Amino acid sequence: MGGTLKRIDRRPIPATPGEIRAFMVVRNEAVRLPSTLRHHRALGVHRFFVLDNSSTDGTLDLLLNEPDVHVYSTEESYAGSKWGVIWTNTLLDAFGGDRWTLTIDADEQFIYPHCEDLNLPMLCRYLDHTGAQGLAALLLDMYADRPVKDTVHNSAESLLDTCRFFDPTGYRTTPIDLCPYFTIDGGLRERIFQEANVSFHAPTISKVPLVRWKVGMQFAYSTHSLETSVKMSNMLGGLLHFKFLSDFHQRVETEVARNEHFEGAREYRVYLDLLRRDGAVNFFTPASARFEDSAQLVALDLMRTEPAFEQSVQMTQAARAQKRAAGGA
């Protein structure tokens, strides 16, 4: 592989048809990665391609001990790679061509309508049937009902058990020209930025994580948009975002000092000012909602389904019930 990406693992990469492959760029994510890998394996991801950018917390060793993870590394500048976009596009072209691919961060967990009962390969088969090449998602910031500094996560447990709450309202959609042809703004981080009274808007919280990749496609801004025009599904998935754990303060200080994130790490500078004012910041409010399941987010219009998909789910569930009944006869 060209560029500065160095292959670390020695595992064979089979050319298995139909594999769903996940792609990540990580740095110091040993706390979050075990839960994120378990979550996506349970959904039906077959194989992971992970690029480590100079981790110092044992992330690389953790990844090398995972039998379904292919590990790459680079010591080059994150900002110089357009905040990981160049690296991501390189890996996707090398290993994602003509496959369904899931591009996520280590603190993101992909969900979609009926994900509790319908695995990712089945969702992708449905998308193929409809001719869709991509599924967009709302990035939903998750937090605990206690101060962030006290939100300690045990890596052997689910991140959702640590951070179960979210803002149920305050989201808006704006049309754009780039695929997926809209952006979503609002939620917790907009609440934070409004309280900080800064002159720039909070981060966009729509992404395009699930794509049937074709060599030559290009993500433009992280996975918020694609420079390549593709047919998007009318459905909307979700990315549960677990940024606000007890390591948040230290990570913010580190990223401000590194100055490798967008616009001089301006997002992290907002967080640092907040934490300096209130080291015991707590994002939980009486308006916070406790996450239950995918149906809850559909009911809140934070995810979106469509009639044909609902019919497909019903047919699948009926077939399963019939099979169980036949097996018990």
Domains assigned to the chain: 6-316 (3.90.550)
Rounded Cα distance, 177 and 225, in Å: 10
Exposed/middle/buried for residue 176 (C-beta within 10 Å: 0-12, 13-18, 19+): middle
Residue 82 pLDDT = 85
Residue 329 pLDDT = 47
Residue 198 pLDDT = 87
Rounded Cα distance, 191 and 169, in Å: 11
Residue 3 pLDDT = 55
Residue 261 pLDDT = 80
Rounded Cα distance, 19 and 4, in Å: 26
Of the candidates 163, 175, 137, the residue with the CA atom closest to the CA atom of residue 304 = 137
**267's tokens:** 């997002």
Residue 200 pLDDT = 84
134 neighbors 206 (Cβ within 8 angstroms): no
84 backbone φψ class: left, alpha, beta (φ>0; ψ -120 to 50): left
DSSP state of 6: E
Looking up tokens 């292919």 gives 70
Residue 328 pLDDT = 60
What parts of the chain have a pLDDT lower than 50?
2, 329
Looking up tokens 């560029």 gives 3
All residues at 6 or more sequence positions from 257 whose CB lies less than 8 Å from its CB, including other chains: none
Residue 222 pLDDT = 86
Residue 167 pLDDT = 98
Chain Cα centroid distance, residue 99:
18
Q: CA angle, 55 as apex, 221 and 80 as ends, to 5°?
A: 35
CB atoms within 10 A of CB 280: 10
